[in-house]
Amino acid sequence: MGWFDILKELTRDEYGAVRPYIRDELEEYKTRKERAKGRLRKRLGRKPTKEELREELSRPTRLNYHSIRPGPMGEKRKLKPKPERFALFENIKLYLESQNITPTVMNILEELSDSDKTNREKDINDIGEYLRKHR
C-alpha cells in the first residue's frame, strides 16, 4: 500500500495531520533515487536506464559500506572510535589516577562495565586511540 492509496481513504482533517510525513517520504525517495543514479553512472560510465535504476532501488541498502571496504594494502579499514565513549574513558582515567593506578588500556578495560563493552577488540582499539590523543 503506497501513499496514494492511503491518501484516497483519508478525510481532510486526517490529511492535514499526515501532510508533513508525505513531504519527508518524498524527499527521502528523491535522495535515494539520486544516490542510486550516481552509483550507476559511476559504475556503468553512462546514464542508467529506467529498468537499471528500478533494479538498483529495489536492492537493500548497504550498511557500514566504508568500514568494510579494503584499504590501500588490502587490509580492512579500522572503524574510528566514537568520541562519545571518550567521556567515559576520561572518567575511568580520572578514577584510576585518584587511586594511584596508571591508566593503561587493560586497566581501563577492566573498569568498563558490561553494558559499556561492545567487542573486546574494538574496545581495546578505542581505548588505545583515546590514550594516544589525550596523553
pLDDT tens for 30-80 read 888 898 899 889 888 899 999 988 888 887 655 545 544 555 555 555 555
Please report, for the chain, the start and end positions of each structural domain, with discontinuous segments joined by +. Answer: 3-61, 83-133
Residue/partner pairs of 34-40 with CB below 8 Å, 24 or more apart: none
Hunting for cell 586497566 — which residue is that? 107
Q: Which amino acid belongs to residue 62?
A: R
For 22, which DSSP code? Answer: H
pLDDT tens for 110-121 read 888 877 787 888
Q: Are 36 and 57 in contact (CB under 8 A)?
A: yes
Taking every pair of C-alpha atoms in the chain, what is the biggest distance, in angstroms? Answer: 70
Percent of the chain at pLDDT > 70 equals: 79
pTM of the model: 0.40
**28-36-74 Cα angle (round to 5):** 120
